[in-house]
Amino acid sequence: MDRVKAEIEKLFRAKEQRRVRLAALPYPEKVQAVVQMQRMTAPLLLGRGLPVRIWELEPSGWKKEAT
Amino acid sequence: MERTLQVLNELERNGVLSRYAIGGAMGATFYTEPLLTFDLDVIVLLPQTKAGLLTLTPLYDALRAKGYAEEGECVVIEGVPVQFLPAYNALLEEALREAHEMAYQASSTRVVRVEHLVAICVQTGRAKDRERVRILREQASLDDEYLAAVLRRHQLEGRWKEWIV
């Protein structure tokens, strides 16, 4: 049981660290993350009849795709 | 989004807007992890018309003339739905006056101070505002003295105390 608890605590700590890392990103990268979240959630919201629009950002705002 | 900000800057330079600052979820995102939103909330101070009225009509007309269409409560500027909120009370006027200048890529913009974002959430008072305050307190660096003064000035200390219990 203690081992499970330790694992869960480790997971929560990692989640927390990820949020801290995300908060420290440069703003243009955060904007990209917001657009990514819009892409992920828009189908659900549109399915519920909510009129949402995914932002169409100019090419300079896009992060280069990893190759 | 840089082009959207450039359009806002141009509107301010041309006097269509007296001043603007980013608020809402995208304002908060300057200080926290990225928060999901579908519009860019922009607080604006509008020039008074000759009749002394404060109206969004000249702003909407100027945007329409540039080819930007209204969509519900927003105007889509360079692919980003922008919701304009006139500074309709003393707190929003102060937030706009004291907003920080920030760089976005090669452009500049203005973002509401984090303490004002908190105070606006407290004033608005919905469940989602309370959640945003929780995130801002957790992730942003707040100037406690400055925040206390804002809350005091705008009679928001009561709800603030309820929220931080």
- State the best of B4, B5, B36, B38 to mutate against chain A, taking most chain A CBs within 10 Å: B38
User: Quick one: DSSP state of residue B22?
Assistant: E
A32 lies in a domain?
yes
Q: Nearest-5° angle of CA B9, CA B11, CA B39?
A: 75
Contact criterion met (CB below 8 Å) for B111 and B7: no
Contact criterion met (CB below 8 Å) for B33 and B132: no
Say which of A51, A52, A61 has its CB closest to residue B1: A61
> What confidence tens digit (pLDDT) does each residue in B93-148 have?
999 999 999 999 999 999 999 999 999 999 999 999 999 999 999 999 999 999 99
Q: Residue B24's domain is classified under what CATH number?
A: 3.30.460
* The residue count for chain B: 165
Alpha carbon distance, N-terminus to C-terminus of chain A: 43
**Contact check, Cβ <8 Å, B79/A23:** no
Specify the pTM: 0.89
A51 lies in a domain?
yes
- Domain assignment of residue A34, given as a range: 2-60
The pLDDT value recorded for residue B50 is 72
- The total number of structural domains that make up chain B: 1
Amino acid letter, A42: A
- The total number of structural domains that make up chain A: 1
Contacts of B81 in chain A (CB under 8 A): 53, 55
The pLDDT value recorded for residue A1 is 66
A13 lies in a domain?
yes
Kindly give the residue spans of alpha helices, DSSP state H, lying in A1-67. Answer: 2-23, 27-47
Cα distances from B44 to residues B3, B91, B164, in angstroms, run: 18, 13, 30
A65 lies in a domain?
no
Residue A42 has pLDDT above 60, yes or no: yes
What is the complex's ipTM, to 2 decimals? 0.86
Dig out the tokens for A14 from the structure: 């990692």
Backbone angles phi, psi at B111, to 5 degrees: -125, 140
Average pLDDT over chain B, rounded to whole? 94
Cα distances from A51 to residues A35, A37, A48, B68, B74, in angstroms, run: 16, 16, 9, 18, 12
Contact criterion met (CB below 8 Å) for B129 and B118: no
Cα–Cα distance between A12 and B48 in angstroms, integer?
52
A52 lies in a domain?
yes
A37 lies in a domain?
yes
Residue A64 confidence class, pLDDT cut points 50, 70, 90: very low
- Domain assignment of residue B112, given as a range: 2-164
- Nearest Cα of chain A lies from the Cα of B76 at a distance, in angstroms, of 9
